[in-house]
Every structure is written in C-alpha cells, then in structure tokens.
C-alpha cells in the first residue's frame, strides 16, 4: 500500500518542518502519522495516538509543536512522566530544530523559573510543570500546543494522579491544541473522548514482532496454543543455536550468533545481578579483541563513579568488562547512562534489567526475553499486567538495524507454554483506570487548588474533579465528596487552610508555602510540629526522615531499634501528637533511615553504608537528594514560624557533602568535597585561612592543577 509522502505537507506547513524531516532521511509518513495528518493535526485539532513504540509518535508531536510555534507564534510544551525520557526528547529536538529556542526544566520544585518566559518550546516532567503552575507562572495563556507523552501512565498508582490533574488543569486554562501519545490500551476511545480529541489507533510497527515462548533449547512461536496436554512437543518449536543447557544463556548464544543484542527482564535487582554474572562467562567468549579493550575502559569508568567503589560498583564493572550489564534503580545515574549508551552503540551485548525500569527507557534490542512473569509489589507477589508486558515485549527490534524483532517469554515447564501464550501473547491490551480516588493522593492537590485560588469552595473543587478522567469514569460523586470532606478537615486541623464562609476556604500563609514547596501536607504537619523541638543532629535527621517524601525507608537495623527506644524515652515529654502520627508514619523505619543519614554525615564510605542498611548506591543518593529537599522545606516553614534555624542549615550543608561539622569551612571552596576536605584537615589545614599560609603542603597533597583552581578562589 502507498504511504503519504513527506512532500505532501509542502505549502501546508512552514517549510522548515518539511526540510527538517527530509534532512533526517524520512521520505514517507508511517500509517499513524498519515492518520494524524488526515484527522486535523496541522489544522490544530486535538489528536490522541495509541500505537506501539517506534511507530513514529514523536514526529507527530513535533510537527504539531513546530507548526504552532512558527505559524501561530505560540509556545509549545512537551510533558512526560519520566525525567530520563524528557531529557532524551529535549536533546533530540535541539538537534533536529536548532533554530527554535528550546528549554528543559525538570529540577528544583520550589522556583517559578522566570527564565522560561523567553523560550518557544519547553520540555517538562509532570511534577515540574505542576509545581510551576503552583508558583503562578504567567505564560500559560501563550501556549498553543501541549504534548502529553506516555498518557497510559494515567493508570499508574504513583505517577498517574498528578498527570491526570495536570491534564485537567491545562485543558481548563489553555486554549491549546492537545496531542496525547499512548501505548496501546484497552480503552483508548474513553481516554480520547475525555481529551476531546480525534483518536488514531494503529498497530503499525516498522519492525515485525515475532512473539514466542522459550522452553528448554527451543522457541515456540505462533500456533503454540494447539499443543494439547501430553502431546509430544519435541517435534514442534524452533531450535535455538548454541550449546548451553541454560535457556537464558541459550537465547544469548543464539542472538549474539546473529550479531544482535539481548535485553532480559527480571523481577528483582538480585535476579538481574545474578543472571548477569552467569551470562558474562559465556558472552566474553563471543567478544572481539577490540571490543574487549573498549569494554575494559568502560569498566574503569563504571568502577570509579564514586571515590570509594561499593560492592555493586565492583560487580557491575566486572560484568561490563565481559560485555554484559545489569540495569536497575540501584545504579548511580552516571553508571546508568554509561550502560545505556554502551548498549545503544552495540558495545554491551546483553543487559539484564528489572521490569520496573523497562517502562521509561529507550533501549530497544533485537531480542527481548522476559524471564520472570511475576514479581513482588509491596510484599505481594503478582503477575505482570498485560499492558506492561506488551510494553516490555514491544522493546524488541531496532528499526535502524533489524527487519524483525523477537519478543520471548520463558516457560519453566512445558505446561506453562500454553498458559503464557494465552495470557500474554494472544492478549488484547486492557483498559486503564484513574487512580485519583485516594485520600493520600488528593491531599496535596486539594491544598494546591485552594492556595492557587483555583477552586476555593467544596463545590468548585468537586466540579473541577468531575472534569478529571476519574470524573469521566465515575459519574457518582458520593465517594469523591467524602474524600474531599476528609481532606478539608485535616487541612483545617493542621492550620494550612481556614474556613472563610459556609462553603469557602482560604490557605493560611504557611499552607500556601506548603503547597509551593510541593511536599505532602501530612509531612508538612509533622515538620511543623517537630521543628521547634529538634535541636541535635539526630533529632533533625529524624524529623526529616519521618516524612512521606523519604519513603520507602531502609530496613530497620538492630542498632536503630535499640537507639530508637532510648530516643523515645529521652523525648517522652513530647506531646501526644507524636502518637497521632505513629499510626500513619513508619516511625521505626524512619529512625533507621535517619541513622543512615547520620552515618553519611559522619563520613562513612558509601560501600559501608550500603552494606549496613542493605540498600544500593542509587537508593542512597536518591535519599540524599530527597533529604535535601525536605530539609530545605523544613527551613522554609521554620522561617514563617520564626524559629531559630542555624542548626538545620548546618545539617543541610553536612548532608550535601557527607561531612562532620569540622569540615564545614573547607567545603565552601569549589573542587573540595568530603574526601579532599578530610585529607587537608588531617594534614593540619583546617580552615580556608590555613590554605594561604600552607601553599606548598596543599600542592603536595592535591597536585598542581587542582591547587591552582583552589588558590584562584582565595586570592
């Protein structure tokens, strides 16, 4: 069948768009792109596209944005739930449209980023744009096109609600074209109707996807469901090349034999790491001399991502040297991007990833193998959902290199072959539901509505919520009404909101600040009650750790258990409101997390910390980032309450660097962190002043180049 040529757009949209597309070697549009254009994409109509990965959705969004910017002189914004995805799209856009002023903002949640005013194309994470709206940005009216990427994330309990309310808010406030991009879901019509958009559904993929089940040394492709119980399956199935008896390694041998790469998904970090060690032995035999040399350099980079490598750094670096990597949330961001880049450039041949990371990364491979079909969520074992499985399997096939991709599941016994086939391979995508109807989720948003004066009566809050996807799916308002009542009572009790009339509410000064700081009001209530009493380092760190933002907490160590009992005894005159929090906070776990932070400020090495609290370097650094944000919020709330805060401010600096108090002066200098400061201090250079009078010693400790940078700052 003939596809629409890119030149079809000539004269219909600004020529820069056509030129940019042709410059990338794209001559014809994919079916979803063609359908979107036929459904009013370039006439500024709302479009929702539900189609597989790599079917050309990004280009649809891009055409709409650039058309809006050049034809209507309006801004365009791109929003995605995952930060990594946002920065990837931002980098690509800058390369493809260097003449458009593009900016990205995914960081600090307490600023209004006024510099954005002068940009035409803006890239945001969901939370970041939501927080900008709370800070009252004033350029929303000049937005002509809004892209929501990964809209199927609405069905995700942790990320969905913020995304849903952001979409609802923007549909209310902006008169903009909406482009929603989604993986295939079971209720695309329902979603599209809510978004007031034309629906484009397509199962087009540039690379044919062959789905099958691996059992033993064979793959069973289509037609597996004809296997009867007890039928001899030996005569069926396609043999995998190789010699290994281990089915995972057999898939690896077979794929590498074709000169291709494999992505394998596991249910847990431990499983992914263990498998990568087993697989590495095999892969190194299949790797060329040149590749081995590059892998060894990469191994060094990964090993030295921290000054003192942890056990995990050593493990990852060892398998990378053999051409394999594991990939999960426990990696440091730097290590993660090393692994992803090396996989994309075909240097690393096999990546063993956790299923949770399968969602947000663009790391396609010729062959995808899902080894574990169930995993633990909050301590409960459950099967991976159909939509998520389709997403994982959809990573198979790289359009630029492959004509087909293989998406495989592993069967542990022959009975499982048919089951897996009917559950996943033959499955249709399932509908996604709004996750908005939960108190803990809505608490922060209801406060924001009131603080922004966006909705300040119960009636207007309910009216707004009825415009959400939740309201679209649930027309009965009773449940929502009860939730909002409960939240308003709490916000009033915590003095973040006051009632100003029979059905009207206003945020207090502190309530308005809580909303801007983007922390959970429950956490803020706890901070407000504890700020005045916390004075020593342990109390301050416990105050910070006992918040929703610091979850999930680390495992409770025996030491933490004992010390917590003592701590509670020493602070027994604290009012009974502590008891009120106990039911909702995980106080003992929070105390253990506080001790981990304390060990960090006592200059314990990352490796020892990770071992002691059974956590990972990635999780440790995520905790430190979150602790910094909560501590900043505590200081801001303390200012409004006019509390003395110098001890909080000291702890914040100590946490940032991981240092004892005595190094506070030295780390003021750039280039001096926890390791170099300690080195100088233990050699008698204890303050910045001492550097002036001991220049030779500084040079002998830190080397010429570094010392020169340091002297420049003090002269």
pLDDT surpassing 80 at residue 359: no
pLDDT surpassing 80 at residue 584: no
List Cβ neighbours of 321 (8 Å cut-off, separation of 6 or more): 284, 292, 295, 296, 298, 299
Q: What is the DSSP letter of 186?
A: T
Instruction: Answer yes or no: do 134 and 230 share one domain.
Output: no
Q: What is the DSSP letter of 366?
A: S
CATH of the domain at 156: 3.40.50.300
CA separation for the pair 299, 315 (Å, rounded)? 10
Task: Say what the pLDDT of residue 223 is.
Answer: 60
Task: Say what the pLDDT of residue 225 is.
Answer: 46
pLDDT surpassing 90 at residue 124: yes
- Rounded to a whole number of angstroms, the distance between the first and last alpha carbons of the chain is 73
Instruction: Answer yes or no: do 35 and 68 share one domain.
Output: yes
DSSP letters, 284-350, are: GGG--HHHHHHHHHHHHHHHTTSSS--HHHHHHHHHHTTTEEEE-TTS-HHHHHHHHHHHHTTSS-E
Q: What is the pLDDT of residues 473-495, one digit of tens each?
A: 999 999 999 999 999 999 999 99
Instruction: Answer yes or no: do 221 and 364 share one domain.
Output: yes
Q: What is the pLDDT of residues 406-418, one digit of tens each?
A: 999 999 988 888 8
Exposure string over 146-176, b if 16+ CB within 10 A, otherwise e: bbbbbbbbbbbeebbbbbbbbbbbbbeebeb
Instruction: Answer yes or no: do 624 and 541 share one domain.
Output: yes
Instruction: Answer yes or no: do 485 and 632 share one domain.
Output: no
Confidence of residue 58 (pLDDT cuts 50, 70, 90): very high
Task: Say what the pLDDT of residue 576 is.
Answer: 47
pLDDT surpassing 70 at residue 184: yes
Answer with the one of 633, 658, 683 that is the final residue of a domain: 658
CA separation for the pair 479, 459 (Å, rounded)? 14
Question: β-strand 102-105 against 121-125: which pairing, if any?
Answer: parallel
Q: What is the pLDDT of residues 208-224, one digit of tens each?
A: 999 999 999 999 987 65
Instruction: Answer yes or no: do 189 and 154 share one domain.
Output: yes
Identify whether 244 is part of a domain: yes
> Which two tokens mark 213?
């089940």
> Span 236-253, mean pLDDT?
93
DSSP letters, 195-223, are: TT-EEEE----SSEEEEEEEETTEEE-TT
Identify whether 53 is part of a domain: yes
Instruction: Answer yes or no: do 503 and 536 share one domain.
Output: no
Identify whether 495 is part of a domain: yes
- Tell me the residue range of the domain where 647 lies: 519-658
CATH of the domain at 587: 1.10.3380.20
Task: Say what the pLDDT of residue 579 is.
Answer: 52
Task: Say what the pLDDT of residue 228 is.
Answer: 56
Task: Say what the pLDDT of residue 362 is.
Answer: 75
DSSP letters, 489-528, are: HHHHHTTSEEEEETTEEEE-HHHHHHHHHT--HHHHHHHH
| More reliable by pLDDT, 443 or 108 | 443
Please provide residue 261's backbone torsions phi and psi, each rounded to the nearest 5 degrees. Answer: -115, 160
Own/partner long-range contacts of 15-24 (Cβ < 8 Å, ≥24 apart): 16/66, 16/70, 16/97, 16/99, 17/63, 17/66, 17/67, 17/70, 20/66, 20/96, 20/97, 21/59, 21/63, 24/96
Instruction: Answer yes or no: do 184 and 217 share one domain.
Output: no
Task: Say what the pLDDT of residue 601 is.
Answer: 97
Task: Say what the pLDDT of residue 112 is.
Answer: 85
Identify whether 20 is part of a domain: no
- 469 closest CA partner among 181, 251, 194: 194
Task: Say what the pLDDT of residue 289 is.
Answer: 85
Instruction: Answer yes or no: do 643 and 688 share one domain.
Output: no
Q: Is 315 exposed, middle or buried (0-12, 13-18, 19+ CB in 10 A)?
A: middle
Domains contained in the chain, number: 5
CA separation for the pair 154, 159 (Å, rounded)? 7
Answer with the one of 179, 201, 223 that is the final residue of a domain: 201
CA separation for the pair 48, 191 (Å, rounded)? 8
Q: What is the pLDDT of residues 366-406, one digit of tens each?
A: 999 999 998 877 677 888 999 999 989 999 999 888 999 99
Task: Say what the pLDDT of residue 1 is.
Answer: 61
Average pLDDT, the chain: 92
Identify whether 216 is part of a domain: yes
pLDDT surpassing 80 at residue 358: no
| Least reliable range by pLDDT among 108-112, 300-304, 507-511 | 108-112
Q: Are 444 and 438 contacting, i.e. CB atoms less than 8 angstroms apart?
A: no
Instruction: Answer yes or no: do 366 and 487 share one domain.
Output: no
pLDDT surpassing 90 at residue 674: yes
Identify whether 214 is part of a domain: yes
Task: Say what the pLDDT of residue 234 is.
Answer: 66
Q: What is the pLDDT of residues 65-101, one digit of tens each?
A: 999 999 999 999 999 998 888 999 999 999 999 999 9
Answer with the one of 156, 177, 201 that is the final residue of a domain: 201
> Which two tokens mark 615?
């956590």
Confidence of residue 5 (pLDDT cuts 50, 70, 90): very high
Task: Say what the pLDDT of residue 473 is.
Answer: 96
Instruction: Answer yes or no: do 625 and 684 share one domain.
Output: no
pLDDT surpassing 70 at residue 321: yes
> Which two tokens mark 407?
């998406």
Task: Say what the pLDDT of residue 418 is.
Answer: 86
Identify whether 13 is part of a domain: no
| More reliable by pLDDT, 184 or 581 | 184
CA separation for the pair 586, 546 (Å, rounded)? 7
Identify whether 464 is part of a domain: yes
Instruction: Answer yes or no: do 560 and 674 share one domain.
Output: no
CATH of the domain at 704: 1.10.150.20
Q: Are 176 and 44 contacting, i.e. CB atoms less than 8 angstroms apart?
A: no
Q: Are 339 and 353 contacting, i.e. CB atoms less than 8 angstroms apart?
A: no
Confidence of residue 108 (pLDDT cuts 50, 70, 90): confident
């Amino acid at each position: 069948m003939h596809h629409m040529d890119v030149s079809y757009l000539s004269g219909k949209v600004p020529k820069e768009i056509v030129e940019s597309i042709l410059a990338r070697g794209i001559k014809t549009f994919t079916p979803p792109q063609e359908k979107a254009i036929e459904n009013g994409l370039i006439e500024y109509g709302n479009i929702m596209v539900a189609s597989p990965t790599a079917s050309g959705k990004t280009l649809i969004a891009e055409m709409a944005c650039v058309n809006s910017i050049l034809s209507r002189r309006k801004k365009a914004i791109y929003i995605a739930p995952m930060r990594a995805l946002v920065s990837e799209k931002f980098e690509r856009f800058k390369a493809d449209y260097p003449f458009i002023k593009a900016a990205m903002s995914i960081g600090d949640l307490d600023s209004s980023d006024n510099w954005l005013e002068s940009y035409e194309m803006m890239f945001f994470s969901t939370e970041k744009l939501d927080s900008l709206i709370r800070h009252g940005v004033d350029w929303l009216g000049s937005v002509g096109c809004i892209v929501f990427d990964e809209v199927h994330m609405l069905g995700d309990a942790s990320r969905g609600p913020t995304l849903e309310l952001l979409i609802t808010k923007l549909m209310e406030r902006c008169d903009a074209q909406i482009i929603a991009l989604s993986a295939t879901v079971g209720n695309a019509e329902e979603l599209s109707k809510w978004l007031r958009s034309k629906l484009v559904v397509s199962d087009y993929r540039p690379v044919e996807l062959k789905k099958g089940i691996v059992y033993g040394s064979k793959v069973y492709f289509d037609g597996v469901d004809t296997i009867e119980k007890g039928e001899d399956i030996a005569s069926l199935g396609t043999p995998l090349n190789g010699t290994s008896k281990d089915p995972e390694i057999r898939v690896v041998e077979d794929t590498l034999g074709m000169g291709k790469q494999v992505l394998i998904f596991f249910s847990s970090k431990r499983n992914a790491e263990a498998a990568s060690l087993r697989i590495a032995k095999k892969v190194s035999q299949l790797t060329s001399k040149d590749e081995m040399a590059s892998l060894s350099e990469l191994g060094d980079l990964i090993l030295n991502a921290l000054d003192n490598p942890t056990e995990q750094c050593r493990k990852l670096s060892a398998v990378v040297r053999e051409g394999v990597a594991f990939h999960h949330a426990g990696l440091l961001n730097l290590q993660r991007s090393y692994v992803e880049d090396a996989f994309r450039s075909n240097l690393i041949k096999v990546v063993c990833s956790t299923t949770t990371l399968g969602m947000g990364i663009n790391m396609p491979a010729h062959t995808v193998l899902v080894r574990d079909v169930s995993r633990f969520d909050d301590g409960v074992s459950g099967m991976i959902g159909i939509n998520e499985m389709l997403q994982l399997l959809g990573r198979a096939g790289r359009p630029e290199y492959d004509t087909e991709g293989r998406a495989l599941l592993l069967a542990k016994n022959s009975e499982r072959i048919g089951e897996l086939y009917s559950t996943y391979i033959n499955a249709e995508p399932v509908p996604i539901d709004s996750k908005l109807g939960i108190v803990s989720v809505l608490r922060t948003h209801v406060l924001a509505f009131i603080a922004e004066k966006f909705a300040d009566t119960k009636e207007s809050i309910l009216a707004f919520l009825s415009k959400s996807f939740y309201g679209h799916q649930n027309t009965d308002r009773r449940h929502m009404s009860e939730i909002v009542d409960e939240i308003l009572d709490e916000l009033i009790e915590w003095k973040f909101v006051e009632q100003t009339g029979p059905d009207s509410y206003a945020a207090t000064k502190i309530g308005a600040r809580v909303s801007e700081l983007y922390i959970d009001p429950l956490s803020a209530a706890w901070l407000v009650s504890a700020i005045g009493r916390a004075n020593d380092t342990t109390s301050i760190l416990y105050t910070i750790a006992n918040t929703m933002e610091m979850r999930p907490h680390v495992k409770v160590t025996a030491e933490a258990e004992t010390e917590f009992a003592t701590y509670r005894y020493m602070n027994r005159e604290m009012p009974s409101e502590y008891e009120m929090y106990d039911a909702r906070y995980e106080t003992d776990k929070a105390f253990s997390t506080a001790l981990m932070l304390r060990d960090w400020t006592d200059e314990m090495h990352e490796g020892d910390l990770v071992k002691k609290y059974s956590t990972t370097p990635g999780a440790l650094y995520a905790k430190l980032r979150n602790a910094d944000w909560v501590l900043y919020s505590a200081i801001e709330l303390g200012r409004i309450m006019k509390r003395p805060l110098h001890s909080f401010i000291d702890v914040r600096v100590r946490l940032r660097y991981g240092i004892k108090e005595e190094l506070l002066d030295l780390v003021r200098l750039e280039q001096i962190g926890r390791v170099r400061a300690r080195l100088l201090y233990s050699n008698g250079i204890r303050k910045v002043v001492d550097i002036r009078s001991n220049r030779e010693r500084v040079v002998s400790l830190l080397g010429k180049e570094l010392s020169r940078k340091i002297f420049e700052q003090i002269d």
